[in-house]
Amino acid sequence: MSIWPGGRRPSEQVFDVLRGNVRLEDVPASIQSLCSKYIYDGAKDILSKPNKEARRKALSKIPPLIRPQVEAEAIRIYRGER
């Protein structure tokens, strides 16, 4: 018997989302919240690239299941939205 819901540690669930093995929408809200920090960090990293081509290249390396969230976060940060 495990103390974790679904028998998996929260860190394992976060890694699954960030590796693109599971969609963000398919995990509990608490795990989505944990993932938001990493999505934010990924977006900041992309925005730190010197030009548009470098940003596109960095974005293409992100797993497809999590890429839309990182891209949306980068746009949100770039526009200065809260």
In the chain (82 residues long), the average pLDDT of successive 10-residue segments reads 74 94 93 95 96 95 96 94 70
pLDDT of 38: 96
Residues contacting 38, CB < 8 A, separation 6+: 14, 18
pLDDT of 81: 73
pLDDT of 5: 64
Q: Provide the whole-model pTM.
A: 0.87
- Segment (H or E) for 42: helix 29-47
Annotated domain spans of the chain: 9-79
CB contact at 8 A, 63 and 22: no
Neighbouring C-beta atoms of residue 31, cutoff 10 Å: 21
